[in-house]
Structure 1
Amino acid sequence: MSKYNRLAAAVFAAAVAFQAPAFAEDKPDAVIAKVGDLEIHQSELDLAVANLDPQLAQLSDEQKKVAALSAAIDVKLLAQGALTEKLNDSEDYKKRMQYLADRELHNAYFKKHVVDTVTPEEVKARYDKEIAALPKQEEVHARHILVKTEDEAKEVIKELDAGKNFADLAKEKSTDPNKSEGGDLGYFGHGRMVKEFEDAAFALDKGTYSKTPVKTDFGYHVILVEDKRVAPPPPFEQVQDQVRQLVMRDKYLELLAQAKQSSKVDVMDETLRKGYEEANKQPAPGDQPAAQPQQ
């Protein structure tokens, strides 16, 4: 992924984080407390709850509200002192307020032109596109019997050759903790097992077992492959939130591209300018791989 994509992803994540508290549904903004002549409204409490320290996440909802109210009252108490001293007239305060105002305007614009425009049809279409781009991955459904020595494994193979049931032998002889399930490992793909075991399992045909013991650091294995398949994609319901983020990210990038076309960006510091230009290089066609929904 290009530096532009990494930077854009980081900016997008920050935008999503910043905008969340501001998107609460409109409702009557009741006064819930007063500090001198200053009022604390429900909207302020909601913002205070949303911005509580993550260390307080384990608190109950009621405890969070109390902690947030306490923080809001503390803010109002010192804000009164700041107003008395006219700190709101300082240049530093005005600069900070301008930055915060710009950020909130950014968030409001982001909500209107990105968040509110995403449709279920767009999300489903993007899911279908991402699934179509996923590489096909083979999986095997295997059982195994794990023993300590090669001779024990060879004896297991002889019993299988004589017609013994694999699952029954696993319950009887395997030293693996899953022996009670008949050695069933379920479906797994490449990279899930140690290499020696994986190579042997994928080399077997469906319905066959290893005719020679497979040695790993855990001991000696006899492997039965019950089935082979192409790994199914993650269901839409499981990944739709992640896919929606992809749709939002692309809309956000398009919105930024349009804004940059209409407004020239000049960075005066040469070092920062070079870094900004490098980080914001547009990817060449095909440079941005399709993001894959996580299984």
Structure 2
Amino acid sequence: MTRTLIALFVLTFMATSAVPAMAQQNTEPAADADNPVVARVDGFEIRQFDVAVAFERLPEQFRQAPVAQVFTQIVQQLVDGQLIVEAGRKDKLEDSPEVKAQVAEFERVAIQKSYMQRLIEGELKEEDLRAAYDETIANTEGPLQVRASHILLESEEDGYDIIKALEGGADFAELARERSQGPSAPRGGDLGYFARSQMVKPFADAAFAIEPGSIGPDPVQSDFGWHVIQVVDKRRQPPPSFEESLPQLEQQLTRELIATHMAELRAGAEIELFNLDGSPVEGPAKQ
């Protein structure tokens, strides 16, 4: 067996075998009817929920397959894991310094995670998120946008023919549907609203120079062909909605909440800092 296969086996085994104890300790158990027993090892029950948790902990390449396809293998890994736990307990490994150190570290990390989660859930309220939205986002103005339609043609001569027809009273949308070679033709040439940076420079320069309700006096050439441009409207890009801004707001307020709370914890603790060589850091001891 190659080193890569050995490493993969260990990774997979560790991902699945540790699940039952963690799942039973940290998660509300489902009703027996919805969470049937899938194996017993000397009376220790392994349930369907354990299999689901183990599946989610597998490396991504293994999660490409349906759970049913790897169900038997996962159950066997969970059984093996429990057998190893029992063997280790017979050897009193739970009393070994190595295991105690790992348990202590796991507990420390779990406490940190649980503490911060409870802090955020308790303090991060919708009214604060909405207040932050109103203060920082709701009244902001985005870049200038143009709403325009265009008719894409092969030649400059074709462009002037279209402009002449429009000056004679032809309907822009109808001509776009009949003559335009661009993908917007079925929509009458309508491109919707766009910022200057969203279009190639010759087209953007021309469109932003045309007044709303007007048609450009000349065809405009770009890498795509010749454009006859009609500008319908100009506006400032509206701010994103509260719902669209929610992930950003949650991150922002979470950072602020944690920073404020950590400052309070630091203010109430005596912290001594040392350099890499063990000498004390100069300055006040309390941080």
Amino acid at match of 1:266: L
Alignment CA distance shift 1:64-1:122 (3 Å): farther
Runs of 5+ in structure 1 lacking a partner?
1-20, 275-295
Alignment CA distance shift 1:40-1:145 (3 Å): same
Alignment partner of 1:102 is 2:73: no
Q: CA deviation at 1:246?
A: 2.8
Alignment CA distance shift 1:242-1:92 (3 Å): same
RMSD (Å) for aligned C-alpha atoms: 3.4
What fraction of aligned residue pairs are identical, expressed as a percent?
31
TM-score by length of 1: 0.71
TM-score by length of 2: 0.73
Which of residues 169, 174, 185 in structure 2 aligns to 1:163? 169
Which of residues 254, 260, 263 in structure 1 aligns to 2:266? 260
Which of residues 181, 186, 190 in structure 1 aligns to 2:192? 186
Q: CA deviation at 1:157?
A: 1.4
Alignment CA distance shift 1:139-1:47 (3 Å): same
3-state secondary structure, aligned to 1:99: helix
| More off after superposition, 236-245 vs 59-68 | 59-68
Please give the per-residue CA displacement for 1:64-92, whole angstroms capped at 9, x wherever unaligned. 98776555334323323333344434433
Number of matched pairs: 252
Alignment partner of 1:142 is 2:148: yes
Q: CA deviation at 1:47?
A: 4.6
Larger Rg: 2
2:87 is matched with 81
Q: CA deviation at 1:198?
A: 1.2
3-state secondary structure, aligned to 1:234: coil
Alignment CA distance shift 1:191-1:150 (3 Å): same
| More off after superposition, 221-230 vs 37-46 | 37-46
CA contact (8 A) 1:114 1:251 kept: yes
Q: CA deviation at 1:256?
A: 2.4
Alignment partner of 1:269 is 2:263: no
| More off after superposition, 250-259 vs 222-231 | 250-259
3-state secondary structure, aligned to 2:235: strand
Please give the per-residue CA displacement for 1:133-158, whole angstroms capped at 9, x wherever unaligned. 74432211111111122222122212
Higher RCO (CA < 8 A, seq sep 6+): 1
Runs of 5+ in structure 2 lacking a partner?
1-22, 282-287
CA contact (8 A) 1:127 1:243 kept: yes
Q: CA deviation at 1:208?
A: 0.9
CA contact (8 A) 2:141 2:239 kept: no
Q: CA deviation at 1:96?
A: 2.4
